[in-house]
Amino acid sequence: MNGAADPARRDFLARLGGAAATLALAPGLTLMAGPAEAKASGGRRWGLLIDLTRCASGCEGCVKACGEENGWAGAGRPATDAQWIRKVTVKDRKSGASAGLPVLCQHCAEPPCVDVCPTGASFKRADGVVLVDKHICIGCRYCMMACPFGARSFVHEDVTDQKPHAPRGKGTVESCTLCVHRIDKGGQPACVEACAKEGGAMIFGDLNDPQGALGKALARGLAARLRPDLALGQGVLYRGL
Amino acid sequence: MRLVAAFGAVAAGLIALVAVLAQAADGRVPLPKPAKATAGTQCVEPAAEMRRNHMVHLEHQRDETLREGIRGKKHSLRDCVSCHAAPDPKAGGQATARPFCDACHAYAAVTIDCFGCHATKPEAGRAR
């Protein structure tokens, strides 16, 4: 193919490349459909900033909201119960100062859970959300061992009455989905919504958009990732740790 | 005389056997009768297409939704459940998709595991 495409061909390509290009081959048969449905975009990178100075130590609002939204609730068996988000208390031994931080899937740019998955069930979407494809998860739990944050859970028991937007079943691994069913429709994760009513410590948004809510919040002061030595490029950042 | 009696017994046995075989040939496993969809709803594809290819449509859309975040297309399991829920004796009479889905799958000896993870009950206020 030579560099100078002839004008007719360029015209044709320009018409094809239009955002809503639809090429009708025959009545009722189209080659390209318009963007009727939004797609997870590679230009975006969803992330979360958690401001620990605003996160009250006894508050479990985000944990409760996540459980209700996604239909996971403790059966009173802490060793095996699923936990998509939890409050971890960290304490400085010398000064005695402590903070409670919500720990959830950190939605890494370089997720170790994806690296170790033998079936490709653990994957990262174009917009940075790390998910489990339970259709092909074999429940080997390698990802649980690989995750430095203990963010994933294995479903040990039969599950009934799941939420239609959050399928979960025995024998598969699961974790925070960043409420993809909400953010794909332009909403916010359930934890962020609940937190706004409590202390407003969580800010959700696009890490690639400096003008967005998250971009502006990040510009206001330094925020750090957990375990920066691992260089995983998490989408979840903490301030005040 | 004894020979005649024995012959009679054998003949009777044979007739009985033929009768049993004839019954087996007639009494085939009954064709499945899946529960009717909610009145006033229209399926996303013609019935013949759905009978043969519903699994292809579902699998295609499942990958698009999960991996690419494309939502709101017409071949979703949620929409199947919302129209095809019917009173389910196994769920205490609550409406689930099982009476509809299980009817043919039992007949064809197909074991699906959709409902190991996915909700079987329709969402409130989601009918097409």
Q: Does A127 touch chain B (CB under 8 A)?
A: yes
- Spatial separation of the C-alpha atoms in residues A79 and A139, rounded to whole Å: 17
Is a pLDDT exceeding 90 seen at residue A17?
Answer: no
Residues of B in contact with A180 (CB under 8 A): 69
Q: A32 and A53 in one domain?
A: no
CB pair distance less than 8 Å for B67 and A123: yes
Q: Which domain holds residue A92?
A: 46-239
pTM reported for the whole predicted model: 0.80
* pLDDT band at B5; cut points 50, 70, 90: low
Run of H or E including B77: helix B77-84
Which residues fall within 8 angstroms of residue A70, CB to CB, at 6 or more apart?
A: A84, A163, A166, A168, A177, A179, A190
Q: A2 and A89 in one domain?
A: no
As a whole number of Å, the CA-based R_g of chain A is 21
CB pair distance less than 8 Å for B66 and A135: yes
For residue A132, give the chain B residue with the closest CA. Answer: B66
pLDDT at residue A143 in the model: 98
Q: A139 and A31 in one domain?
A: no
Residue A76 backbone class (left: φ over 0; alpha: ψ -120 to 50; beta: rest): left
pLDDT in tens, B45-99: 999 999 999 999 999 999 999 999 999 899 999 999 999 999 999 889 999 999 9
pLDDT in tens, A68-125: 999 998 778 989 999 999 999 999 999 999 889 999 999 999 999 999 999 999 999 9
Q: What is the CATH number of the domain that holds A198?
A: 3.30.70.20
Q: A13 and A92 in one domain?
A: no
Q: What percent of chain B has pLDDT over 90?
A: 66
pLDDT at residue B12 in the model: 61
- Spatial separation of the C-alpha atoms in residues A85 and A99, rounded to whole Å: 16
Residue among A176, A115, A124, A169 nearest A142 (CA) = A115
For residue A169, give the chain B residue with the closest CA. Answer: B117
For chain A, give the longest Cα–Cα distance. 76
Q: A96 and A114 in one domain?
A: yes
Is a pLDDT exceeding 70 seen at residue B1?
Answer: no
DSSP assignment of A168-234, as one string? --TT-EE---TTHHHHTTT---HHHHHHHHTT--EEEEETT-TTSHHHHHHHTS--B-SSGGG----
pLDDT in tens, A173-224: 999 999 999 999 999 999 999 999 998 999 999 999 999 999 999 999 999 9
Mean pLDDT over each residue of chain A, to the nearest integer? 88
CB pair distance less than 8 Å for B71 and A184: yes
A 148-167 residues with CB below 8 A of B?
A: 159, 161-164, 167
Q: Does A185 touch chain B (CB under 8 A)?
A: yes
- Spatial separation of the C-alpha atoms in residues B92 and B101, rounded to whole Å: 17
Q: A109 and A72 in one domain?
A: yes
ipTM of the complex: 0.78
CB pair distance less than 8 Å for A123 and B117: no
Q: A116 and A23 in one domain?
A: no
Q: How many domains does chain A have?
A: 2
Number of Cα atoms under 13 Å in the Cβ half of residue A204 = 20
Q: A98 and A32 in one domain?
A: no
Mean pLDDT value of segment A142-160: 96
Is a pLDDT exceeding 80 seen at residue B114?
Answer: yes
Q: A111 and A72 in one domain?
A: yes
Q: Which of A36, A38, A169 faces B116 most closely, judged by CB atoms?
A: A169
Q: A167 and A84 in one domain?
A: yes
Residues of B in contact with A134 (CB under 8 A): 117
